[in-house]
Amino acid sequence: MTVDQALDSDFLTLADPYRRELLAHCYRMMGSIHDAEDQVQETFIRAWRGFDGFRGQSSFRTWLYRIATNTCLTALEGRAKRPLPTGLGAPSSDPSDELIERNEIAWLEPIADSSLGDVNDPAVMVVQRDSVRLALIAALQHLSPRQRAVLVLRDVLQWKAAEVAEALDTTTTAVNSVLQRARAQISNIAPTEDTLIEPSSGEARTLLREYVRSFESYDVDAIVALFTRDAVWEMPPFEGWYRGPEAIGQLIGDKCPADGPGAMRLLPTSANGQPAFGLYMRQEDGIHHAFQLHVLDVTESGISHVTCFFDLSLFPRFGLPAEL
């Protein structure tokens, strides 16, 4: 029996409409789609158990968010942050150096836009996109769990300080103090995203088509030409990260296992409100197998950041096949 089957149908009728937005909330807190799903289930269980005690002093939605936030805070006790390679504190790597894999680190994970809501509804996606950008989720990981909760509740959900204080069993003064420190810290970490362009714009579509063409033809020079001057490439679970088109080109030319044109194929998807691709590599059996998930920052000047995730368990979450 699943958790949903065990819960009361009346409760689920009220709670289910909020499942996806609660998933986004838990994802912002946890930095992992796997952990976020676990916390949403735990939130539903706790809410169902306390449903008889819900007095309607706040909206049902607000009540669920309170439970979800505290559920995440409990789950985060004693856990290390989920970084990307750029968040480990080391300088950019030399592309000629050996790749070092760090599987003991619990890395940040992307989230499929299809998990967040109706990807065909522009109003839904504009709100979600700004609050789940990969750079923002990575920056949130540098905050303490309590700072993270206050910042998300105040600046993303637009709760009043008194509402946050009640949810976290603290004072308004304490909330304002934590928020001030969190905002100051996040402003020093999170890069500006003012130059990001809409994935649906003609300029972005042209860049993305060329990205696919360049990789599928394994044209390293063409790949290099797509990146901005200070572009970053990172690929957890490898700890290194690389800055600048030349370094990225050298890395792809020297370390990529592609054996020539046609070795790679890309399928489009979207993650964290950003364009993304499932990359498939041709293996000895002649079949293209799932290899990497690319999440891109596309700007007016070109592609400024690519994060390549080697976690193949992400592919089915994005509706991507295991092989082509």
* Domain CATH for 308: 3.10.450.50
Is there a domain that residue 36 lies in?
A: no
Q: In the chain, which residues have pLDDT < 70?
A: 1-7, 56-57, 117-129, 190-194
d(CA 56, CA 59): 6
Distance from the Cα of residue 197 to its chain's centroid:
18
Residue 304 in tokens: 């400024």
46 within domain boundaries: no
74 domain residue, yes or no: no
pLDDT in the model for residue 87:
93
pLDDT value for 104: 95
- Into how many domains does the chain fold? 1
In a domain, 177, yes or no: no
Alpha-carbon distance of 120 to 114, in angstroms, equals 9
**CB neighbourhood size of 87 (10 A):** 18
Asked whether residue 161 is assigned to any structural domain, the reply reads no
Quote the domain boundaries for residue 319: 83-133+193-324
Alpha carbons 160 and 284: distance in angstroms, whole number: 58
User: Is the residue at 33 inside a domain?
Assistant: no
Token output for 249: 């080109």
Sheet holding 227-234, edge to edge: 241-243, 227-234, 302-309, 288-299, 274-282, 264-271
Closest alpha carbon to 291 in 270, 269, 314: 314
Q: Is residue 231 part of a domain?
A: yes
Which residues make beta-bridge pairs with 278? 267, 293
Res 181: pLDDT = 94
Question: Beta strand pairing status for 264-271 and 227-234?
Answer: unpaired
- Convert the pLDDT of each residue in 254-313 to its tens digit: 999 999 999 999 999 999 999 999 999 999 999 999 999 999 999 989 999 999 999 999
Instruction: Establish if 251 belongs to a structural domain.
Output: yes
